[in-house]
C-alpha cells in the first residue's frame, strides 16, 4: 500500500490514510464541562451528550431523549451505562466496559471495576424491568 500521489510505478494502488474519531471531554473555569467529537476530517463539534461507534445511532437517540444538563453525576453514569447495555452486541460487564469521569474536584478518573459492578447491575435490572 502506498500513500501519496503517483511514484515511479504507476500500477501502485493508492490509498487514503486511516482516520480516527474521538470523544474529548474536559472541564474549565469559563464554560464548565465540555464534550467534543472530532471526525477523521478534523472537524469537531461540541455536544452535551454524544456517542460514536457501531451502535452510535441508537445510543445518540436515547441520549437525546433522556439526557438533561441538570443530571447528577450518578444519574449520568447510570444513563451512559444503560445506553451501552442496550446497544452493545455482547453482554455488558466490568471486563468489557470502562468508564471515566471528568470533574472539577477529581479531574480525570478511571472508575475501578468494583465501582462499575453496581452501576452495571442497575442498568441491566432496569432494562429487564422495561421488557417485562
Cell of 127: 432494562
Range of the structural domain that residue 53 is part of: 22-131
Tell me: the pLDDT tens digits for 49-105?
999 988 899 999 999 999 999 999 999 999 999 999 888 888 888 889 899 999 999
Q: How far apart are the C-alpha atoms of 67 and 4, rounded to whole Å?
A: 44
Residue 17 lies in a domain: no
- CATH code assigned at 81: 3.60.20.10
Residue 1 lies in a domain: no
DSSP assignment of 24-47 equals EEEEETTTEEEEEEE-TTS-EEEE
Into how many domains does the chain fold?
A: 1
Cell of 26: 474536559
Residue 37 lies in a domain: yes
Residue 95 lies in a domain: yes
In the chain, what is the straight-line distance between the N-terminal and C-terminal CA atoms, in Å? Answer: 52
Tell me: the pLDDT tens digits for 21-44?
999 999 988 998 999 999 988 899
**Adjacent-strand bridge partners of 32:** 28
Amino acid at each position: 500500500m502506498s500513500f501519496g500521489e503517483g511514484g515511479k510505478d504507476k500500477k501502485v494502488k493508492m490509498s487514503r490514510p486511516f482516520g480516527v474519531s474521538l470523544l474529548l471531554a474536559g472541564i474549565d473555569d469559563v464554560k464548565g464541562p465540555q464534550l467534543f467529537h472530532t471526525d477523521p476530517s478534523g472537524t469537531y463539534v461540541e455536544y452535551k451528550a454524544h456517542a460514536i461507534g457501531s451502535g452510535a445511532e441508537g445510543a445518540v437517540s436515547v441520549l437525546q431523549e433522556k439526557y438533561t444538563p441538570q443530571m447528577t453525576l450518578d444519574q449520568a453514569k447510570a444513563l451512559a451505562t444503560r445506553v451501552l447495555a442496550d446497544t452493545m452486541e455482547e453482554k455488558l460487564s466490568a471486563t468489557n466496559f470502562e468508564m471515566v469521569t471528568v470533574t472539577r474536584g477529581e479531574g480525570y478518573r478511571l472508575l475501578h471495576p468494583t465501582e462499575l459492578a453496581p452501576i452495571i447491575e442497575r442498568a441491566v435490572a432496569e432494562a429487564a424491568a422495561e421488557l417485562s
